[in-house]
Amino acid sequence: MNTKLSVLGAGSWGTALAILAARNGCQTLLWGHEAEHIANLKEQRQNQRYLPDLLFPETLAVTADLQQAVEFSDTLLLVVPSHAFDKTLENIKPFINDNLQIAWATKGFNHKNGVFLHESVENILSPQIPTAVISGPTFAQEVAANLPTALTIASLHNQFSSLLSSLLRNSRFRVYTSNDLIGVQVGGAVKNVLAIATGIADGLELGANTRAALITRGLTEITRLGVALGGQAETFMGLAGLGDLILTCTDNQSRNRRFGLALGKGGLASEIIAEIDQEVEGISAAKETHLLAKHYGIEMPIVEQIYQVLYQDLSPIKAVQNLLNREPKQEACS
């Protein structure tokens, strides 16, 4: 494989995707902004902080030099937290060329204005750049450990989708493609809010029935918003919708679920975040999703209660009571 890939973001997910591509024979360069962290990766040939005991393939190199990373390949894969997405685009702008293609595995909305991340690329770089989003039910540790996984690549550029698919897929990693750039991004962002909700419910020891209800009705809320924003309803029944929602809401590898669990047990948000020591994307996504729902007049009662818990000091148990005390209505799936 002659293709080169630059992965920007040396956290757990960025490292896992870089390992995956490198194992597949792709010359891969992993960039991180912390010079000391990158020095450790070079010396140890593993990401001991986030993915301990998983050695890097020979085809994976690392760097703290952003210009080197951008100029290494015409294909960039951004795996940075959503709050750093705009800044990363601004930082790479001086180094890009006319052949650049950008994909991202970041899940969330733009923190500044709530727009989609593909709109950030268009606004900061160029609307002519081919873009793609990678999303689905994926824990970094399992991908890096070569456990069977499937995800979705969404793009309006079929050639770019095919290229990314060829870089990532193998006998243990299946890739599906989609042209629903909006729906895939909505699913990836809002499922984190629902993971906080199910975590809270389990932290309160409300049982499996409650968890199942939150996941099911949460999927309805995601679908309502996604369709209103231009997504395709069927997307939310796929890997980037239901699949990612189930994974994030039911397994404690999810940072968002663990955050909710600790909240439900009475923990303080600031202390929980410090203990997790990685980005909990659902916190900001709750605010951004709340504002989008309000703007478009979309009913999202679970998201609304999580927003109030996180930003208006509503107690978790009161949020549950508010949901249970809503007026009876006919069940609708959209």
Question: Which residues carry out catalysis?
Answer: 191
Asked if residues 263 and 195 have their Cβ atoms less than 8 Å apart, the reply is no
Considering only CA atoms, which of 125, 127, 85, 132 is closest in space to residue 108?
85
Torsion sign, CA atoms 178, 183, 188, 191: negative
How many angstroms separate the CA atoms of 51 and 242, rounded?
26
Structure-block tokens of residue 86: 């705009």
